[in-house]
Structure 1
Amino acid sequence: MTSIRCWAMTLIALSLSACVGDDQSDTTESETARGFDYQGMMANYADNVFLPEYRAFGEQADELAEGIHSVQFYCEALNEPGRIADIGRVRYQWRRVMEQWQRVELFQVGPLAANGGALRNRIYSFGSSAPLSECAVDQSVVLAQEEGFDLRTRSVNARGLDALEYLLFSEDLTHHCPSQISETQGWNNLPEQTRRQQRCDYAQRLADDIVDASQTLVEAWEPEGGDYRFEWVNPANQEANLKALSDALFYIELQAKDRKLGVPTGLHAGCSAVACPDAVESPYSESSMSNIQINMKAFLQGFTGGNGLGFDDIFVHEGFPEVMEAFKDAIIDADVRSGYSSPSLLQEMRAQLDSGSAQDCLNATANPADNYPGACAAHAYLKRVTDRLRTDFVTIVNLDLPERGQSDND
């Protein structure tokens, strides 16, 4: 293993003419480990990256539930004759919450990743084993009118930010369930105002639940709460936590590149058609590309540790500052190239599917600079980052790929 790592590092830094012997390499690695402040690095991530991002999400979630742009404000106006129910305000706040959540997505460690990501999926289930179900939400809207309804009994495919997006942005008030589903029978015959009010009632429950989940997340880290920060910074857990942090950053490949871009564009094995617009993230708000751009910004923060110790400092400590700068440049390029909004990813993929050909998309991945903006070009720029993540990153920081990232399907 040592000789393999030595050979890989030689390919990264052409200035190294040869690798040292196994015994000497082991000694060098041991000295390097002692020379870098890993505990300080983990404390920096806890105090200056994770907790500030989690808290910021909680603050935005509070505003969505009860602020002047809140679901509550909209629902009250909807239910009171003479008041103007401006859904534009609450949609604006939902976008702000989603933008902050897209940053948090890169930092799924500890309590947020525990129990198969149960807390994360409660807040946002996209990419999970139980993604949003329009029918499940429609059923919940009806059931929520009954006395004793308990949101905790509902699956994550009817909860969270994605369910709230469906309720706030979809103008279609008809249900999306098969005819045999008893809860929604007769729903389409209700007056439009009644359906809007009932959907709004359930949206309020969802917004309140997101606030509660965000508080659970922050409290899990706080010293007066679960104090997971102690477990995170504890040197005894250093190796496992460093691996967990590295695995979390692979979100940029497994979700942003593969799931959010690769599947809709047909570039990933998860889509067997010319394009798969039904797989697009945030289809109702059509904010998919914005989500990916924010993922890139958070990934850069995750790589650098913000203004404190981060993985980029390990690159420098190991003697690869040029590789670190090239990696950061690739991240910034991908950030810029994923930041377009018109047409939306949904519209773009519908047009690609209607064309019956993926050739333009394949050309864009081969020559992204000549085909910007566009989802397939953005995918190519993200792949430049994830290729470096799989090679330079894992080699220099001396960590393995996450289990789900052992193969690359595009």
Structure 2
Amino acid sequence: MKHAFKPLLLVSTLALVLSGCGESTSYDAGTGHDVSKNQPDTGTPTTPTDPSAPQFSEKQLLVSLTDNVFTPTFNEFDSKSDALPSILSAYCDLEVKYDPSLQDGEVLAQLTTAKLNAHNAWKEAMVSWQHAELMIVGPLLENDKSLRNDIYSWPNASTCSVDQDVVFFENGTINGNAYDISKRSDKRRGLDALEYLLFNDDLVHSCSSTSAGEVLADWNTRPEQMRKASRCRYAVEVSKDLSVSSDKLIAQWSGTSGYASVLQNAGEAGNKFASTNKAINEISDALFYMTEELKDYKLATPLGLFNNECGGITCPESVESKYAKHSIENIRANLNAFELLFNGGGASNLGFDDFLDNQQASDTKTAMLQGILNSKAASQAITTSLQTALESNTATVTDTHAKVKDVTDQLKNDFITKLALELPATSAGDND
């Protein structure tokens, strides 16, 4: 466990790889890829026609994805989450001390700057995590995704639960026991709780009169600045817990017995995966975040294509990140991460595109790469928040959903079939 917080990295190598800005919106099947690698995989490297191209084997694919995609992504998030507590503490120290009645312009300017720094730090951590959302394997998959949910519990977040824990933490006890955030439910923790605490300017608690309980009985009558300070103190505690969770992820991922090693050594004696194909299938299952969470929850639901809180019509209230107005940035990060996994992080690294070439499915590879570029271009065409686009430019959101669906249709059909992989259980009956 680390005890010192690392500085926030405003620009990182991974962020540059994932940025996706300024790309062409068409794909040349011959650029950076050897489409002649059509030999069946035997578990040993094949000799590509282009001697400078990476040699393909399922084992080398696992090594490439682990070293070039998963590990940098998890390390990036660990760095961002470890930076949050000190940045939030600097902001909240000012929020706790601030007295609006004094009308001190200099102090207010310092507070405004510190709050902006806290918001930007959360946004950077969220983008980094949205990359990892496409990589839910191993420690993030175990125990019903408990570690993943401690980091980010959406779409099952509960702002009422967060409101209650603001006061429980303030009191220092709950049900006669010392307050311990690590023993609280995931709905009261993580990036989604932080978003509500940092970005929601409505200081009235979000619980119904029956669910508020005694702990929130006097909350709405407290002075405004007192409520801001209480929420801020709890935000610092949540950020510390988030850093602990990211450290757990790194500890379980790294080292000779970490999950990265498990994936890289799949098929060997004593490994949990009886074959390299089984390990690859776990990674391909993670790619299906594109179908339910991204396509259906983040786009189709607020579009009104599925039932939502507005009764099945266009519903800005149903977007993922409504308090920070960060929904479209999350979607773009998801698309960038899908592309990173698909191409292994670049032409010089093995990815699923090379696997498709190897299995004589270069047409599927080309279609999916073009689909990814089209999806990214459609998301970039949304130049406002997703909420605003849903209200005033619905066609851009509809187009993004359609372009993402093109990719997921390929994913569920040709991709799985050509690579002899299995659909995840949650997608087996999905004919959308």
Query: TM-score, normalized by length of structure 1?
Result: 0.82
Task: Tell me if the contact between 2:305 and 2:312 (Cα under 8 Å) persists in the aligned partners.
Answer: no
Residue of structure 1 in register with 2:18 after alignment:
none
Alignment of 1:327-342 (within 5 A): 327-342=368-383
77-86 or 244-253: bigger deviation: 77-86
Alignment of 1:28-47 (within 5 A): 32=42, 36-47=56-67
One-letter amino acid matched to 2:414: D
**1:398 corresponds to 2:420:** yes
Q: 1:156 to 1:314 in 2, by over 3 A?
A: same
Change (3 A) 1:342 1:31: closer
The residue that corresponds to 2:70 in the other structure is 50
Rounded to whole Å, the distance in 1 between the matches of 2:125 and 2:328 is 16
Q: CA deviation at 1:267?
A: 1.8
Quick one: distance in 2 between partners of 1:376 and 1:110?
34
**In the alignment, which residue of structure 2 is the partner of 1:118?**
146
1:213 to 207, 223, 245: 245
| Superposition CA RMSD, Å | 2.1
Determine helix, strand or coil for the equivalent of 1:401: coil
- Counterpart of 1:158? 188
Residue of structure 2 in register with 1:195 after alignment: 227
- Residue 347 of structure 1: CA displacement? 3.1
Which residue does 2:277 correspond to in 1? 239
Matches within 5 A, 1:123-134: 123-127=151-155, 131-134=156-159
SS of residue in 2 equivalent to 1:165: helix
- What is residue 250 of structure 1 aligned with on the other side? 288
Q: Secondary structure at the match of 2:380?
A: coil
String of CA shifts for 1:306-348, please: whole Å, max 9, x gaps: 1321111111112232431221111011011112454422234
| Shift of residue 152, structure 1, vs aligned partner | 1.9
Distance 1:273 1:254 in 2: 17
Alignment of 1:338-353 (within 5 A): 338-349=379-390, 351=391
User: Are 2:199 and 1:173 equivalent residues in the alignment?
Assistant: no
Mark the runs of 5 or more structure 2 residues left unpaired by the alignment: 1-37, 47-55, 99-103, 173-177, 268-272
User: For residues 127 and 294 of structure 2, what CA distance do their matches in structure 1 show?
Assistant: 14
C-alpha separation in 1, matches of 2:124 and 2:357: 35
User: Which residue in the other structure is 1:149 paired with?
Assistant: 179
Per the alignment, residue 59 of structure 1 pairs with 79
Q: Is the 8 A contact 1:287 1:341 kept in 2?
A: no
Partner amino acid, structure 2, of 1:287: H
**Deviation readout 1:284-316 (Å, 9 max, x if unpaired):** 011111111111110001111113211111111
Cα offsets for 1:231-261 (capped at 9, x unmatched): 1112322232111100000111111111110
Inter-partner Cα distance in structure 2 for 1:268 and 1:305: 33
Between the aligned partners of 2:209 and 2:382, the Cα distance in structure 1 is 37
SS of equivalent residue, structure 1 residue 306: coil
The answer for the alignment partner of 2:258 in structure 1 is: 227
Q: Percent identity?
A: 35
Q: Take 1:298 and 1:229, find their aligned partners in 2: how far apart are those partners?
A: 18
Distance 1:209 1:111, change over 3 A: same
Deviating runs (4+, > 4 A) in structure 1? 28-36, 269-272
SS at match of 2:261: helix
* d(CA) in 1 for partners of 2:369, 2:42: 23
Contact 1:135/1:177 (CA < 8 Å) preserved in 2? yes
What letter corresponds to residue 262 of structure 1 in structure 2?
A
Q: Are 1:88 and 2:116 counterparts?
A: yes
CA shift, 1:270, in A, is 6.2
Q: Separation in 2 of the partners of 1:343 and 1:385?
A: 24
Aligned positions of 1:360-371 closer than 5 A: 371=395
Instruction: Give the C-alpha shift of residue 48 in structure 1.
Output: 1.5
Q: Whose RCO is larger (CA < 8 A, sep 6+)?
A: 2
1:294 equivalent in alignment to 2:320: no
For residue 260 of structure 1, what is the aligned residue in structure 2? 298
Equivalent in the alignment of 2:397? 375
Distance of 2:307 and 2:43 partners within structure 1: 39
One-letter code of the match for 1:38?
Answer: E
CA contact (8 A) 2:41 2:359 kept: no
Distance 1:175 1:31, change over 3 A: closer
Residue of structure 2 equivalent to 1:71: 88
Mark the runs of 5 or more structure 1 residues left unpaired by the alignment: 1-27, 353-359, 362-370
Structure with the largest fraction of helix: 1
Contact 2:43–2:59 (8 Å) recurs in 1: no
TM-score, with structure 2 as normaliser: 0.78
